[in-house]
Amino acid sequence: MRHGLHHRKLNRTSEHRKSLIKNLLNSLIKYEQITTTLPKAKVLKPKIDKVITLGKKDTLSNKKNLFSKLQDKINTRKVTNILSKRYLNRKGGYSRIIKAGFRYGDGASLAIIELVDRDVNAKKLNVKKKAKENKSETTPENFKEKKK
């Protein structure tokens, strides 16, 4: 019998599972669309909806609770300032899960979880910075300077 089994364990310890969910929440708030496995997306959907609902009521205690869940000031500000105003007239259902096939290596079912009415430009954050950093590290001038 399945009595008392309330959540998915995702083959992880409780500490690992909590940090995984926190990191997925932060990534989803930052980029507004992420690709992950289907079970992780199903765990994440009610969490992100609760976080956005918590950010809609602008009180100090809600901001503190939000920060305790996210552990990130930038994402906390984004939820309270941007996302709460975007979903002001919506009563729930702030995210959606779209099945995206299977992963090539191990055949795991993939899903795209995204915020409804998302900002398309948010997906492109930090992409150019990473490309510039990797390019500057691999230039021949840097190798010559390190040898001298």
Instruction: Write out pLDDT tens, residues 4-47.
Output: 788 889 999 999 999 999 999 999 999 999 999 999 999 999 99
Query: What are the pLDDT digits (tens) for 38-60?
Result: 999 999 999 999 999 999 998 99
| Dihedral Cα 43, 45, 48, 54, nearest 10 deg | -100
pLDDT tens-digit readout, 81-120: 999 999 999 999 999 999 999 999 999 999 999 999 888 8
**Model's pTM, two decimal places?**
0.80
Which amino acid is residue 78, in one-letter code?
Answer: K
Mean pLDDT of the chain: 87
Residue 7: per-residue pLDDT: 85
CA distance 86 to 93: 13
Q: At the topology level of CATH, where does 14-118 sit?
A: 50s Ribosomal Protein L17; Chain: A, (3.90.1030)
- Structure confidence at residue 5 (pLDDT): 81
Q: How confident is the model at residue 140 (pLDDT cuts 50, 70, 90)?
A: low
pLDDT score for 134: 65
**43-65 core/surface letters (b: 16 or more CB in 10 A; e: else):** bbbebbbebbbbbbeeeeebbee
With contact defined as beta carbons under 8 Å apart, do 122 and 32 qualify? yes
Helix ranges restricted to H, 1-126: 14-31, 38-56, 60-70, 73-78, 84-86
The answer to whether 51 and 66 have CB atoms below 8 angstroms apart is yes
Q: How confident is the model at residue 123 (pLDDT cuts 50, 70, 90)?
A: confident
Portion of the chain with pLDDT greater than 70, in percent: 85
